[in-house]
Structure 1
Amino acid sequence: MKGSKRTVRAVMAWAERQPPKVKAFLAVVTGMAALVLLRFIIHDHDNLFVGAEACHAIGISVLIYKLTKERTCAGLSLKSQELTALFLAVRLYCSFVIEYDIHTLLDSATLLTTLWVIYMIRFKLKSSYMEDKDNFAIYYVVVPCAILALAIHPSTSHHIVNRILWAFCLYLEAVSVLPQLRLMQNTKIVEPFTAHYVFALGIARFLSCAHWVLQVLDTRGRLLTALGTGLWPSVVILSEIVQTFILADFCYYYMKSLVGGQLVLRLPPGVV
C-alpha cells in the first residue's frame, strides 16, 4: 500500500514538472482512458447520468454535515449555491413539462437540499460567511447563458419557451461552480469538507460528460441528430466537456493532497 502511494506521488510530481502543453495532453489521454474503461465496465450508459446526480447529492450531503456539525460556512460560495438552485429549478420545471422520470426525483431532492444550504449560509451561519471573498459577479454568467439560450436551443416540437429554458439551465450548470472556484482562488487554502464537496462535483461533471460522449459513440452520431438540428447538439457536448475541464485542475490537486495525507488543500497560484 505504501509502495503504491509512493508510486502515485512520484507520477504526480513528474506530471507537475511538465510544461502546460504536456499537462493538457496528459489530461486528455487520462480522460480518454477513463472513458474507455467506463464503456467496458458500465453497459447501460444512462446509469452514468444517474451516477452523476448521485455524486452531486453526496457532495451536498458533505455540505449538510459541515453546516450542522461544524456550524460554519467558511469557504463556501453562496453565489454558487444560488446558481445551482437556479439551474436545478429551471431543469425541474422542464422535466415536468417535457419528461418525468427518475432524474426529476433526483433533481427535486438536490434542489431542496441546496435551498437548505442557501438558508443556512444566508441566515443561520451568516457570521462565518466570507462575503468579501465571494466576489464573483453572477450576472457575468447568467446574462451570457440567457443570450446563448435565446440563440442556440433545441429544435424539438416543444414550446419555444420550454426549449429556451432547457438550454439556459444546461449552459448555467456548466459554469455554476465558477463563484466557488473564485472564492477558493481568493483564499488559497481549502478546508477538507469544502474540498470533498467540490471534488464530488468534479466527479459528477465527468460522469455526466462520459454519459453524453459514450452515447454519441454507441449510436455512431445518431444521438446528435435526435437532439435536434443546427448548433444545439454540438453545444450540448461542448457544455459537458467545459464543465469537466473547469474542475479538472482542482481535482488533480485534490488527489495529490489526498495521496500526500494532507488534511488541508493548499492551491498554488493560477489554479482554478
Structure 2
Amino acid sequence: MRASKRPLGVVMAWVRRQPPKVKAFLAVVTGMAALVFIRFIVHDHDNLFVAAEAVHALGIAVLIYKLTKERTCAGLSLKTQDLTALFLAVRLYCSFVMEYDIHTVLDTATLVATLFVIYMIRFKLRSTYMVDKDNFALYYVVIPCAVLALVVHPSTSHNIANRFSWAFCVYLEAVSVLPQLRLMQNTKIVEPFTAHYVFALGVARFLSCAHWVLQVLDTRGRLLTALGYGLWPSMVLLSEIVQTFILADFCYYYVKRLVTAAYVYDLT
C-alpha cells in the first residue's frame, strides 16, 4: 500500500515539520495574503463584521443541534458560554444607549441562542457536563478585563460608565474562548460538534479582525481618530488580533485533521 497524498496534504505535512518560528511566520504571511484577497473581493468591508456575527451564530446553531439531537454537552465549556453571554449582554447595553443598528439585532439573536445553550447545560443535560474538566477560573479573565477597561477606554463624549462598559466587552470577548480551549486540553479529546463550534469562532474572529484592519486602511487611519485618542484605538485592534491568534492554532489543527482525512490511498 502506497499513500498518494493530495497537494494540500503534502503542504500541510511540510508545514508540520517546520520549527515554531517558521510556522508563526507562515501564519502571518497567510493572514496577510487572506486580507489582500478579501480586500479585493469584498467591496463593502462593513459586511465583514456582519459576516463574522453570522458565522458566530452558525457555530452556536451547531451547539444547539448537538444539545437537542445528541442530548449531551460533553466537551462543551459552560464557562465560555457564561463569558459569551456576559460580553454580549454588555455589548447590547452599549448598543441601546450609544448606537442602534443591524449589529444590535444580530447580537440579540446570538445572546438568546447562547442563553438557551446555558440553560440546556445547567438544567437539562447537567449529568453529561464535564464539570471537573471545565476548571478555568473566570476571575483570571473577568477581573483583568475590568481593570484594563478602567485604565484604557474610549475617549468619546458618552457617559463614563458606558465607555467603561464598551471597553470591558471588547476585552472580554477577546479571551472568552479560553475556558473552552482549556477544557479540550484537559480531556485530550475534541468532540466533533464542539470542534465545529470553535472553528466557527475562529473564522468569525478572523473576519472581524479583517473588518477592523481593512477599515483602518480604507479610511487612511481616520477610523482610529473617530474611535477617540490615546491607547483605546490601538487596544481595539490588538484585542481583535489577540483573539484571532488564540484561535489560530486550533483552526490549523482542525484544517489539518480534515486534510488528513481526505488523503487518498492507492492499493498496489
Short-chain TM bin: over 0.9
Where does structure 2 lack aligned partners over 5 or more consecutive residues?
Answer: 263-268
Alpha carbons 1:149, 1:164 under 8 Å: kept: yes
Structure 2 Cα separation of the partners of residues 5 and 49 of structure 1:
36
Task: Note the alpha carbon deviations across 1:208-247, whole angstroms, 9 max, x for none.
Answer: 0000000011111111111100000000000000010000
Per the alignment, residue 63 of structure 1 pairs with 63
Deviations 1:109-129 (A, max 9, x none): 000010000000011000000
Aligned AA for 1:36? V
Q: Which residue of the partner structure matches residue 118 of structure 2?
A: 118
Of stretches 142-151 and 185-194 in structure 1, the one that deviates more from structure 2 is: 185-194
Structure showing greater radius of gyration is 2
Q: Distance in 2 between matches of 1:79 and 1:42?
A: 35
Work out the CA distance in 1 between the residues paired with 2:54 and 2:119: 22
Which TM-score applies when normalising by structure 2?
A: 0.95
Aligned counterpart, 1:200 = 200
CA distance in 1, matches of 2:226, 2:80: 32
Which residue of structure 2 aligns with residue 165 of structure 1? 165
Give me the whole-angstrom Cα distance separating, in 2, the residues matched to 1:127 and 1:11: 42
Distance 2:210 2:243 in 1: 11
Partner letter of residue 68 of structure 2? T
Displacement of 1:178 after TM fit?
A: 0.2
Q: In structure 2, what is the Cα distance between the partners aligned to 1:77 and 1:182?
A: 9
Residue aligning to 2:27: 27
Distance 1:25 1:174 in 2: 22
Alignment partner of 1:105 is 2:105? yes
Counterpart residue number, 2:266? none
* Alignment partner, residue 267 of structure 1: none
Aligned residue number for residue 227 of structure 1: 227
CA distance in structure 2 between the partners assigned to 1:42 and 1:9 by the alignment: 29
User: How much has 1:99 moved relative to structure 2?
Assistant: 0.5
- Is 1:37 paired with 2:37? yes
* 5+ long unaligned stretches in structure 1: 263-272
Cα contact 1:95–1:104 (8 A) shared by 2: yes
- What is the aligned partner in structure 1 of residue 139 from structure 2? 139
Which digits, 9 at most, give the CA deviation of each residue in 1:97-148, with x for residues without a partner?
A: 0000000000000000100000000110000000010000010000000000
Mapped contact 1:5–1:259 kept (Cα < 8 A): no
Determine what percentage of the aligned residue pairs are the same residue: 83
Secondary structure, in 3 states, of the residue corresponding to 1:72?
Answer: coil
Q: Give the whole-Å Cα distance in 2 for the aligned partners of 1:20 and 1:53.
A: 31
Amino acid at match of 1:128: T
> What's the offset of the Cα at 1:189?
1.1
Kindly provide the amino acid, as one letter, of the partner of residue 149 in structure 1.
A
Q: Distance in 1 between matches of 2:81 and 2:31?
A: 27
Moved more, 27-36 or 252-261: 252-261
Match of 1:47 in 2: 47
Aligned-pair distance for 1:13? 0.8
Aligned 8 A contact 1:155 1:229 in 2:
yes
1:85 is aligned to 2:106: no
How much does 1:261 deviate? 2.0
Q: Which residue in 2 is equivalent to 1:217?
A: 217
Distance 2:66 2:212 in 1: 32
Partner of 1:248: 248
1:73 is the counterpart of 2:83: no
Query: SS in structure 1 opposite 2:130?
Result: coil
Which 4+ runs in 1 deviate beyond 3 A? none
Report the 3-state secondary structure (helix = DSSP H, G, I; strand = E; otherwise coil) of the residue aligned with 1:73.
coil
RMSD in angstroms over aligned alpha carbons?
A: 1.2
